[in-house]
Amino acid sequence: MKPVRSKEYLAFIRSLPCAVCFRTRSVEAAHIGRRGLSQKSSDKEAIPLCYLHHREQHRIGLKRFQKTYELDIPSLIDMLQEKPRIAIGRTARTAGYYVALYRSELFTLLPVHLGLGESVALALQLCREYLIESHFHAARECSSHRW
C-alpha cells in the first residue's frame, strides 16, 4: 500500500515544538514509521523534531533515540492525529454557537450565522494551542531532569 502523503499535515507537525527539547525554530516533520521499498513512511507517522534531534534520530536509530529521550512514539502519533468534534451548541451557555470538543475541553467557537468554515479553522487553531499547552508543556516539566 502506498504511504499517505499530506502537505497540510506535515505543515501542522512543523508548527509544533520539538518533541524532545521543545524548541520552536527549525522544527521538521520526522518520519518515524515503517518504511518500505526506499519510501518514507506515511506522513501520518511523523513527529515534530528540531533539526538537531532529527539528525540525531537518524544517526543513532529510532529505538535508541526513543529510549534515550523516553518518548512514547505510538502515543505521540495517536495524540497528533486526534481530531476535534464540532457540533452546534445546544446548552444555554453555547446556544447559537458552534462548539468543539477536544478531549475533555469544550471550546465555544463562532456564532452559527457566521457559517461553519471559520469555526472549523478556529477549532483547529484552539486544539493546536491546547495540544501544545497540555502535552508539550507537561512533557517539558517531566523531562527537565534531562537538561
* Cell 506522513 sits on residue: 43
Tens of pLDDT along the chain (147 residues)? 677 888 999 998 999 999 999 898 999 999 987 665 456 688 889 999 999 999 999 999 999 999 999 999 998 888 888 876 766 665 677 788 888 888 788 888 888 888 888 988 898 888 888 877 776 655 555 555 443
How far CA 107 is from CA of 5, 24, 138, in Å, comes to: 30, 25, 21
The separation between the first and the last C-alpha atoms of the chain, rounded to the nearest angstrom, is 41
Please list the helix, strand and coil fractions of the chain in percent, rounded to the nearest 5, in that order. 50, 20, 35
Are 14 and 31 within 8 A, CB to CB?
Answer: no
Fold type of domain 1-81: DNA Binding (I), subunit A (1.10.30)
Amino acid at 64: R
Domain with CATH 1.10.30 in the chain: 1-81
For the entire predicted model, the pTM comes to 0.70
CA–CA separation, 77 vs 58, rounded Å? 18
